[in-house]
A and B are shown apart, each in its own frame.
Chain A
Amino acid sequence: MNATPVLEAEHLFLRFGGIRAVHDVSLAVAEGEILAIIGQNGAGKSTFLNMCTGYFRPQGGDIRLAGRSIIGLKPREITRLGVARAFQHPQLFPHRRVDDHIRFAHAAARGGFWSPFRPLESPQSAEEAAELLRFFDLGALAALPARSIPEGARKLLDVAMALALRPKLILLDEPTSGVSSSEKLDLMTRLVTVLRARRVSAVFVEHDMDVVARFADRVAVWVDGEVFRLSTPEEVLADPEVKARVL
């Protein structure tokens, strides 16, 4: 395992007016590690993800990707450094074919995006689209416009698009929200299998403790903008204080 963490947050601080959104947060994510963030609504979990992607700029502290500070960079610049993001509400192109989403993300991550002559469809992008769609069981929907597929599939497509960027780190905001309870475990099993196979680190915000217990390597418990506990799922979920304040 590489000694330098993929993601390091150090003494992060952010207020929205009088509200303390993130306060003195420090944590690190190692290569290939899957970190879950749990906490009540409004605890600052999504704000942390938004800071890691450059959407919010911290008022204090530092965020480093493989040792390099990303404070002040735009979301697209951070994406190009190897951070992909999937959203709580899938951000798709509703009128476009499902497989074209993957091809577009594949092209975005590789050279030649701006060439007015290189087509979106290439053997490599077709292969990537076929692999990811097969993996997330979206193959049958490949030719459909994204607006016409079910919510669970939209969620998977959002994640698949992020993975097509071949990131070092993926940030997932409530990947199982809006997905039926019977589909949650299947979705996470598929997702974590891809992450492990590609050695992608992940940080995911989650409310389902069963999902957290099964798939996270470590869990950060967020309370009032602070990391209240940071440990293995077994320890965190058995902690009486965590049970009282969060669960």
Chain B
Amino acid sequence: MRANNAVALASLLAVCAVLPLLLPSNTFQFTIVLAAGAAGVGVSLLLEAGLISFGHALFYGVGSYAVAALAPSFGHFGILLVALGAAAGALAAGIVGLFMVRYRGVFFAMLNLAISMVAYSLLLKSYSFSGGSDGLPVPVDGMFGYALGARQFGLLLFYVCLGGSVLFGAFLHRYRRTPAGWGLGAVEDCEIRIEYLGISANRVLLQAYVISGLLAGFGGAVAASAVGHVAPDSFFWTTSTTFVVIAVLGGRGVVGPYLGAVVYEFLNIGAARYLSNSWEIVLGVVILLIVRFARSGFAGLPESWRSASLRRRRA
């Protein structure tokens, strides 16, 4: 990592860390942004292989419901629940991925969507297990084994989520430099060459799919703990689309989708306040601008500016 990038990242983390102290009433929103950003990073990871998933709500939902199912027994151990929710997302991705990584392009996108919608329908029908459309309460009130007040719990959950995001970010930074991480982008470039190097392209994708499920499960587990309730909507296709929009807005990488999540959530909140039910118009305009002027998303803006500046100087 270049020194400039390291300084920028450290500054960004420092700002994130003090935000709930400066704006305590917004701690919940900050936590939700981090949760959605984690799921967005998962979707963005698959974008590196040229695959777009419209079904990552499945792993987000699995993470959420895992927390809801375990919360009555481990309600004071929020950190354990978040870890188990992330693991459940990864496990679900490992199972679904065995089938999914055989497909590419639109088939991959649509099959992901189909499986998440099947899970959504099953959840709605399984009232005794899932609470149907009413969902389930998530009685989590502690993080390390003892009960906390709502405010302290919310603050601690934010920092657990921030810490988890930093850990995942460091892991992904390293993973991209491994042969399998490098091979992920190579799958999009020339899959046949990978096979002729003795490597299974499907296995490269499966590894990334499990990691992306882990991230979505982590996001779902954090969101469920923060909201205190889960509903089948977390499996619905609109949730998956949210993660895709976040990944497109933010761009590839680790930081980008978090920026995408910030913009998405605060557009959602801000525009909904002033434009009532038509906030999607604002979102649509932002997406249009991104697609037109910054195809690499927010994360790619500095590089685009650098390239444009170089071109101007050469001209």
Which residue numbers of A lie inside 8 Å of B, CB to CB? 53, 74-77, 79-80, 84-85, 91-96, 100, 104-105, 107-109, 112-121, 161, 165
Contact A53 B178, CB 8 Å, known A96-B186, A104-B186: no
Closest to B175 in A: A116
CA distance A114 to B178 in the complex (A): 8
Q: Mark B172-197, 1 if CB is under 8 A from A, else 0.
A: 00110111111101100110110111
- How many whole Å from A215's CB to the nearest CB in chain B? 23
A91 touches B179 (CB 8 A): no
Most buried by B among A100, A117, A120: A120
For the complex, is B106 an interface residue (Cβ under 8 Å from A)? no
Say whether B307 faces chain A, with CB atoms less than 8 Å apart: no
Q: Are B185 and A96 in contact (CB under 8 A)?
A: yes
Smallest Cβ-Cβ distance to B183: which chain A residue: A104
B189 touches A95 (CB 8 A): yes
B302 within 8 A of A: no
Residues B189 and A93 in contact, CB atoms below 8 Å apart: yes
Taking a contact as CB atoms under 8 Å apart, the answer to whether B193 and A92 are in contact is yes
Contact call A100/B182, Cβ cutoff below 8 A: yes
Q: Which residue of B lies closest to A85 (CB)?
A: B196
Report whether B178 and A94 are in contact in the complex, using a CB–CB cutoff of 8 Å. Answer: no
Q: Which residues of B contact A120 (CB under 8 A)?
A: 177-179, 181-182
B166 within 8 A of A: no
Contact A75 B186 (CB under 8 A): no
Q: Are B199 and A75 in contact (CB under 8 A)?
A: no
How far is A102 from B185 in the complex, measured between Cα atoms in Å? 16
CB-CB nearest in chain A for B171: A116
Add 6 more A-B contacts to A105-B197, A165-B198 (CB < 8 A): A76-B198, A79-B198, A104-B182, A116-B175, A118-B179, A121-B177
A79 to B195, CA, bound (A): 8
Compute how far the CA of A120 lies from the CA of B178 in the bound complex, rounded to whole angstroms. 5
A119 close to B197 (CB less than 8 A): no
CB-based contact B178/A119 at 8 Å: yes
Q: What is the CB-to-nearest-CB distance from B308 to chain A, in angstroms, rounded to a whole number?
A: 20
Min distance, Cβ A89 to any Cβ of chain B, angstroms: 11
Q: What string of 1s and 0s marks CB contacts (under 8 Å) between B189-212 and chain A? A: 110110111111001000100010
Mask: chain B, 255-293; 1 = CB below 8 Å from A; 0 = not: 000000000000000000000000000000000000000
A-B contact pairs, 20 of them (CB 8 A): A74-B195, A75-B195, A79-B198, A92-B193, A93-B186, A93-B189, A93-B193, A94-B189, A94-B190, A95-B189, A96-B186, A104-B183, A108-B179, A114-B180, A116-B174, A116-B180, A117-B174, A119-B178, A120-B178, A120-B181
The smallest beta-carbon distance between A171 and chain B, in angstroms, is 10
Given contacts A113-B179, A113-B180, A116-B180, contact A91 B196 (CB under 8 A): yes
What is the number of residues of chain B that contact chain A, defined by CB distance less than 8 Å? 25
Given contacts A108-B179, A116-B174, A116-B207, contact A76 B185 (CB under 8 A): no
**Which residues of B are found within 8 Å of A121, using beta-carbon distances?**
177
Q: Are B178 and A115 in contact (CB under 8 A)?
A: yes
B window 66-109: CB within 8 A of A:
none
- CA–CA, A20 to B283, complex, Å? 59
- Complex CA gap A109/B179 in Å reads 11
In the bound complex, CA of A108 to CA of B194 (Å)? 9
With A93-B190, A104-B183: A113-B199 Cβ-Cβ less than 8 Å: yes
Q: How far is the CB of B2 from chain A (nearest CB, A)?
A: 16
Residues of B within 8 A of A108 (CB): 179, 197-199
- Complex Cα–Cα for A85 and B179 (A): 20
Residues of B within 8 A of A79 (CB): 195-198
Interchain CB contact under 8 A, A119 and B186: no
Would you list which residues of chain B between 96 and 147 have a CB under 8 Å from chain A?
Answer: none
Tell me the complex Cα distance, A168–B185, Å: 28
Q: When the two chains form their complex, are residues A53 and B196 in contact, meaning their CB atoms are under 8 A apart?
A: yes
Q: Which residues of A contact B211 (CB under 8 A)?
A: 116
**Complex Cα spacing A146 to B171, Å:** 27
Nearest Cβ in chain A — how far from B88, in angstroms?
19
**Neighbouring B residues of A95 by C-beta, 8 Å:** 185, 189
For B185, the chain A residues whose CB sits under 8 A away are 93, 95-96
Mark B136-172 against chain A: 1 for CB-CB distance below 8 A, else 0. 0000000000000000000000000000000000010
Could you say which residues of chain A place their CB within 8 Å of the CB of B174? 116-117, 119
Chain A residue nearest to B182 in the complex (CB): A120
Within the complex, the shortest CB–CB distance from B210 to chain A, in Å, comes to 10
Give complex CA distance A96, B200 in Å.
Answer: 19
Q: How far is A94 from B27 in the complex, measured between Cα atoms in Å?
A: 44
For the complex, give the distance between the alpha carbons of A85 and B198 in Å.
11
Report chain A residues within 8 Å CB of B180: 113-116
Chain B residues with CB under 8 A of A118 = 178-179
Chain A residues within 8 Å of B198, by CB: 76-77, 79-80, 108-109, 165
Residue in B180, B181, B203 with the greatest tally of chain A CB atoms within 10 Å: B180
> Which 8 residue pairs are nearest across A and B when measured between Cβ atoms?
A79-B198, A107-B179, A91-B193, A93-B189, A108-B197, A80-B198, A93-B186, A113-B179
Pick the residue among A74, A85, A119, A165 that contacts B177 (CB under 8 A): A119
